[in-house]
Structure 1
C-alpha cells in the first residue's frame, strides 16, 4: 500500500491506496458538516482519483451528521425515486430484512439524472460476512481492446427499475412467502421508469470514459434480446474482473463514499439471516452524455421529484 500525506489546518489527512485501479482509505479526518473547504476539496480529489474511498472510526456520526457532511459534497436527492423512508426523506436504509443488493449495479440508472455520489454509513453489521465490492467502470473501459471500444462507443442501452428480480434474488426466498421482501419489490416498481443511456458515458468532472451498465439494463438498443444479453454479459464480465475491484470488510464506525458515475458495486450476501443495516445518502448528478455529446433520454417516468440535475 502507498500513502499520500496532506496537511490541512493542523490535521494530517492520509490517503492510503488500496488497489491499482480502485479504492483508497482516508485517515485523519473526523467527518462532519463543519469541515473546512480545503479538507472537503481533498476528500473530493481522493474520490475522483480512487472512485471509492473509506473512512474508519466515524462512530460519532448519526443520520443528521451523515446528511450534514454529505451536503458539503453536493445537493441531496430523495432516498429513492419510488422507495419511501417515513423517518427521513433523504436516507435510504439498506436493510437485509427487506432486500439484499447482491447483484452488480450502479445506483438508480433507470432515471435520466443518475446520482453522482453515494455516501454509505454502517449502522448494524453481522458478526461475519456482509462485505461490499466496488468495480471501476473507467478501468474496465480503458482496458477494452480497440475493436471492442469501436463497438461500445456507439451503443445505447435501456435501463429500467422493472428489471428481472428473479435472476437476482437468493434461492432461500424463491418459492417461499417473504412478505417484507414482496412489499419492498412492489414499492420499488410502484412507478416504472425507463431511460436510454449511452453504454459509454463521459465523466463530467474528469473527462474519463466509463461503461454505464449494471443489472438495471433491460436491453441494448437495436439488438435482439439474445444479442443484447450476449454483448451485455461480455461487457459486464469486463467490469467485474477482479483487477478492477476492491472489497471492503465493514467495521463499526465505517463510512464509504463512491463515485456513482465511475463504479458498480455488489453487496455480498454471505451472512445468513443475521441483521445488516446501512444508511445511504445520494447526491444529485447530471444527465449522462455519450462520447459524441448526446444526452440520455427518458422513455418512461418523470424523476424531477427525486432529484435536481447537477
Structure 2
C-alpha cells in the first residue's frame, strides 16, 4: 500500500507528491497538499491519468476557477480548460500566467496528454528566492518599481518547426483580439505567505514612470536574470498522465521549444487570484482594457 509523501525535487523549488489519487483526497490530505504547495511552489503528481472533469474538480478545491483564457478558446464543452497545443503555438518564453489582467490566476494546473519522446519539458522558477538573491541596493530599487504588463506584444510566436504558419497567425490574431495593460508592483507580497517576490516575466514590458521603454526593458532584463538562475529553477520531465500544480503568484515557467515537429498537448486549468499588492501596500491597477470579468470571477471582488 502506497503512503502519502512529499519529496523535494529541487534545492529551492519543487516537490513530487506520491501515494495519492487527486480524485480521492480527504480534507486533511488536501490541506497538507495545499501547505506543501505554499512551501515548495510547485508540486508534481506522476501517473494520475485524469479526465478534464477530474482536473477541473481538483483545481476547484483551491478556489473558484477562471475561464480557460481571456481570449483563446477553451476545449469544446469545457470552458475552464485551455488546450496548450504545440501545433498552434509555442510560448517558449519565461512568464507567469495571464499577468496582463488585474487579477491574474493564483494557481495553475497542467496535465500531460501527449508528450514527445524527448524534449518538451517545463521549467519552473522560484521568484521569491530570486528576490532574496538581489543585492541590497537593487532590492530597494525593485521594491519601489511598477511594471506595465500587456498581451499586446510578440508573445505567442510559432516554433522553429511543427507549427503551421497559417495556424500560428490565426492563433496570434485570437490572442490579441482584445488588449489589456495592467500596472503591477515589480515586487509582490504573497497574500498567504507574505513573501516578497519578483512579479515580472514575459508580459511585463515597461516600467511605470520611465518614458523610454528601452530603459525599462533594461531594468526588467537585469531583474529577470536573477529569476532564471539555475539554482532557482527546477525542470519537470513529462510523462503522459502527469499533473503539475504551481503557485502562479511567485513562480515563472518556460516550455523550451526543443522537440522539432513532434506533437505536445497539455491541458491547463487555473484558479482565480486576487489583486497583487506591492511592498508599499498599493494594489495593481488597470492602464488599458476592462476588468476581464468575463474570464475571472475574482474581478468582481477586486
TM-score normalised according to structure 1 size: 0.92
Deviation at 1:149, TM superposition (A): 0.8
CA contact (8 A) 1:163 1:215 kept: no
8 Å CA contact 2:181–2:288 kept in 1: the answer is yes
Note if contact 2:185-2:277 (Cα within 8 Å) is conserved in structure 1: yes
Whole-Å separation in 1 of the counterparts to 2:284 and 2:199: 11
In the alignment, the residues of structure 2 paired with residue 230 and residue 67 of structure 1 have an alpha-carbon distance, to the nearest angstrom, of: 39
Instruction: Determine which of 56, 74, 79 is the counterpart of 2:68.
Output: 79
Find 2:21's aligned residue among 14, 30, 37.
Answer: 30
Aligned residues: 296
Partner of 2:280: 292
Distance 1:192 1:281 in 2: 22
Mapped partners of 1:165, 1:250: distance in 2:
23
Which runs of structure 1 show a deviation greater than 6 angstroms over 4 or more consecutive aligned residues?
A: none
> TM-score, normalization: structure 2?
0.94
Contact 2:161 2:260 in 1 (8 A): no
Alignment root-mean-square deviation, CA: 1.6
Question: How far did residue 226 of structure 1 move?
Answer: 2.1
Quote the Cα distance in structure 2 between the aligned partners of 1:243 and 1:231: 21
1:103 to 88, 93, 109: 93
- Counterparts of 1:218 and 1:231 in 2: how far apart (Å)? 10
8 A Cα contact 1:155 1:199, kept in partner: yes
State the Cα distance separating 1:177 from its structure 2 match: 6.7
Alpha-carbon deviation of 1:172? 5.0
Contact 1:40 1:73 in 2 (8 A): no
Which one of 9, 24, 32 corresponds to residue 18 of structure 1? 9
What is the CA-CA distance between 1:12 and the residue it aligns to?
2.5
Structure 2: where are the runs of 5+ without partners? none
Aligned pairs (5 A) from 1:123-272 = 123-165=113-155, 169-172=158-161, 178-223=165-210, 224-272=212-260
Higher mean C-alpha displacement, 10-19 vs 113-122: 10-19
Q: What's the CA shift string for 1:192-242, capped at 9, x where partnerless?
A: 001000000000000000111111112011122221121111001110000
SS in 2 for 1:264: strand
Q: Distance in 2 between matches of 1:211 and 1:301?
A: 24
Distance 1:301 1:91 in 2: 23
1:65 to 50, 54, 63: 54
Q: For residues 37 and 221 of structure 2, what CA distance do their matches in structure 1 show? A: 28
C-alpha deviation, 1:171, in angstroms:
4.6
* 1:25 counterpart SS class: strand
Between stretches 216-225 and 114-123, larger displacement belongs to 216-225
Structure 1 residue 272: Cα displacement: 0.4
Q: Secondary structure at the match of 2:173?
A: helix
In 2, Cα distance between the equivalents of 1:109 and 1:235? 17
Q: Deviations over 1:225-274 (max 9, x none)?
A: 22112111100111000000000110122100000001000001111000
- Cα distance 1:172–1:251, how it changes in 2: closer, same or farther (>3 A)? closer
Gaps in structure 1 of 5+ consecutive residues: 1-9
CA contact (8 A) 1:104 1:266 kept: yes
